[in-house]
Amino acid sequence: MKEFQSLRSIRNLIIDMDGVLYRGKEAIPGAGPFLEFLRRQGIGFVLATNNSTKTPAQYVEKLAGMGVIVQADEILTSAQATASYLSRTAPPGTRLFVVGMDGLWTALREAGFDLVEEAAEYVVVGMDFTVCYDRLARAALQIRAGARFIGTNPDRTFPSEQGIVPGNGALLAFLEAATGIEPIVIGKPEVAMMEQAMVRLGAEPATTAVLGDRLETDVLAGRRAGLFTILVLSGVTDRAMLAGADLQPDWVFEDVGHLHRVWHEVIEPEVATDGRADCTVRSDLSTTH
């Protein structure tokens, strides 16, 4: 376990949810015990998701239904990050046209914005599993009329119980193709969410890691923020994708249950079970942090 000893230095963890703790409505085996392990070890964590569809309270309820217990203040969504960004760039009462679900609408309302159907100053687009052509067409028309185009996150795909389905990045690509306007994207891999999560945790980069299932968002965001990066293969990225990628994480595990076993063995080797199977570590880890 020598190559994993650096896990001892991790005191804070920024954790993605979709593909890491669950897929759709199904918890990934070991998700609950992994969070319990972090609490026992005094390792702080924030669940930072690019998924803007739900409010933190709705995520708490969803996770509880899977036997995973968290608090609302342990969750940071791209909807919240987007509302925070807009609060710094536009005054309360600014007119927004929204494509999205409860999580995004609630975050923007709570930030004091006026959510309208026409003459918007901004078009804000988050994932919407019920979106129709008419709403996308209205978004495109308002972008063409001069509204600034904001995307909560760039994830082109989404891990569901049925498999990999279109994500918010696909909606952004649709609108970009229809308008010729590139969106300003707020969520991972931009560092804003990493910075907001670290403020919540009171964390420093040298002792913080990001845990996710995507190279192009989770791992890239962590790398840009100067954090350790941990990839699990329970979501979007598989070994073939990883092998062909230029960007590589510090560590790779099959899922959070696998990470839990290895981390436990590093911390308490005399009582831990064997967690050595099929782990990957970057060869240049010792020189990257």
Which residues are catalytic, by number? Answer: 16, 18
Q: What is the DSSP string of the chain?
A: -GGGGGGGG--EEEE--BTTTEETTEEPTTHHHHHHHHHHTT-EEEEEES--SS-HHHHHHHHHHTT----GGGEEEHHHHHHHHHHHHS-TT-EEEEES-HHHHHHHHHTT-EE-SSS-SEEEE---TT--HHHHHHHHHHHHTT-EEEES---SEEEETTEEEE-HHHHHHHHHHHHS-PPEE-STTSTHHHHHHHHHHT--GGGEEEEES-IIIIIHHHHHTT-EEEEESSSS--HHHHHT-S---SEEESSHHHHHHHHHHHH-TTTPPP--TT-EE-TTGGGT-
